[in-house]
Chains A and B, each alone.
Chain A
Amino acid sequence: MNINLTLKIWRQANQDAPGKFVDYPVENISTEASFLEMMDILNEELVAKGEEPVAFDHDCREGICGMCSLFINGRPHGPDDSITTCQLHMRKFKDGETIVIEPWRAKPFPVIKDLMVDRTAFDEIIQAGGYVNINTGGVPDANAIPIRKENADLAMDAASCIGCGACVAACKNASAMLFVSAKVSQFTLLPQGKVEAHERVENMVAKMDELGFGNCTNTYACEAECPKDISITNIARMNREFLCAKVS
C-alpha cells in the first residue's frame, strides 16, 4: 500500500539561526518503506528542486549505533515501542496524516542543523568515568574471575544502551539519568568495574549536572521510550552507588 503524508519538519540553518517548522507534502510512500527511507525520498525531491535537503543523523540503520534521533509525533523514535527511528516503518502511519518531526530538545544537546543535535555531552560524561582504568593484564581464562550469572545478565542489559539520547528527549526535565545509570551499572555490576565504582559514579553524576541536564522526577518516561528497554532499576542502582560513595 502507498500513502500520502504531510511532514511538518523543524528547519534550522545552523546552531545560532532561529529555525522554524516547514510543511512538506510527500506522496506515494510505500508502507513497506522505513521512516528514514521516506526522509531520503523527500531529500532527493528537495535536491532535484535545488532546495537544501533536511539534515538528520543516521549511520547503521539497523538499531545498533544510536545515531538516528528524530522526535516524531511527540515521541523519540516515533510511534512504536523498543525501536530506533531507523527501525520505524511507514505502516505505523495513516494515509493523509501530518507527521511532526523535531530534533531532540535539551540544553546540553544544541541543534547543529535541522534535525541534527550535538550529543558530545554524552561523550563528556563517559570521559568523566565510563571506563575501567586498572590494568587488567592479558586475556584471562574465561572462568578465572567468577561472576554471578544474574549480574552478568544485568550488566549486559545495561550495556545494551546505545547512547542515542531518547531518554533525555523524552524526559520532561531533559534528565540524562537513564543513560548515566546504564553506563554506571554496566561497570559496577562486574568485578573489574567495581574497583573504581565510587569515583566513577561521583564523577559521572558531577559531569552530568555540570553539563546542564535536568534532575530526575521519577516520571519513568525514559524507560517507556528507550529503544533498548533500559530499566529504571539502573537509576535506583546509581542512586544507591552514589549514596554509598558519599558516605564512605
Chain B
Amino acid sequence: MGKSYIYSSVTKKVIMSLVGLFLITFLLVHLTINLLLLFDPTRELFNVAAHFMGTNPLIQIFQWVLFGGFALHMILGVILQVQNWMARPKGYKKKAASEKSLFSRFMIHTGILIVVFLVIHFSDFFIKAKFLGEIGEIVYNGHHYEDMGLLVIEKFQMLGYVIFYVIALLILGFHLDHAFQSAFQSLGVNHPKYTPFIMGFSRFLAIVITVGYIFIPLFIYLK
C-alpha cells in the first residue's frame, strides 16, 4: 500500500502536534517581548526587541517557517475535522459528555476563532509596521527605531479593543489547555510517571500564556 500511509491519521496528528508545539514556543517568545513594554516609560526595551525581531536575518527566515507552520496546522486541522464529521454522518439524539478533556470538543471552533483574531491582529500591527510604514520614529542613543510601543499603547486606550483582545486570548487559552498535553499523547509520550505532570503543566501553561497576554492590554488601559 506504500504511499497511503504517509498521510495516515496518525501521521497527520504527529505533524499537527509537532507544529502545534512549535507554535507554542512562538507564543512564549512573543509574550516575553510584549511584557517588556510594561514598567518601561521610554519603551526602549520593547522597541529595540521589536526592531531586532523585524530585522534580524535569522528571525526573518524563521518568520516564514512560522507562517508555514500556521498554514500547515490550519490545513491539517480542517482536513482532520472534515474527516471526523464524515465518520459519523448520522449523529445521536441524546449524547452524554464522556470526554475527559473538555476543550478537546471545541478545537476546530477555538482554532477558527484564533484565525479570525490573527487576521485582525495582523492588520493592526504587523502590516502597519511592515508595509504601510505608518509608524512614528524614536531615537535611542542616536539610533532610529520604529515606535511600535506607542502604537500598541494607543490601540489599547480603546475599551472595545481591550475587551476584544481579552476575549480572543481566552479562546486561545481554551485551545492551549487541551493542545499541549494532547500533543504528547499524539507523539506517543504517555507514561504513568510523567503524564500526570504533563496534564497539569498543560493547564498551567495555558493559564500563564493567557493571563500573561491579557495582562498587557489591561495594564495599558488602566494606567
Contacts and interface: CB of A to CB of B under 8 A. Distances in A.
Interface of A: 8, 10, 21, 71, 73-75, 100, 102, 105-108, 170, 172-175, 177, 202-203, 205-206, 208-210, 212-221, 223-225, 232-233, 235-243, 246
Given A218-B101, A236-B185, A239-B14, A105 B94 contact: no
B104 A215 contact: no
Contacts of B13: 215-216, 239
Nearest to B108: A217
A174 B190 CA distance: 22
Contact of B9 (A205, A224, A236): A205
B9 A208 contact: yes
Contacts of B92: 71, 74, 102, 105
Interface residues of B, number: 41
B163 to A, nearest CB: 30
Interface of B: 1, 4-5, 8-14, 80, 83-84, 86-96, 98-101, 104-105, 107, 178, 181-182, 185-190, 192
B191 to A, nearest CB: 8
Given A206-B4, A215-B13, A239-B14, A232 B91 contact: no
A174 B88 contact: yes
Nearest to A225: B98
Contacts, number: 137
Closest 10 CB pairs of A and B: A240-B188, A74-B96, A236-B190, A214-B87, A173-B84, A221-B98, A220-B100, A219-B104, A174-B87, A239-B188
B95 to A, nearest CB: 5
Contacts of B89: 107
A237 B188 contact: yes
A102 B185 contact: no
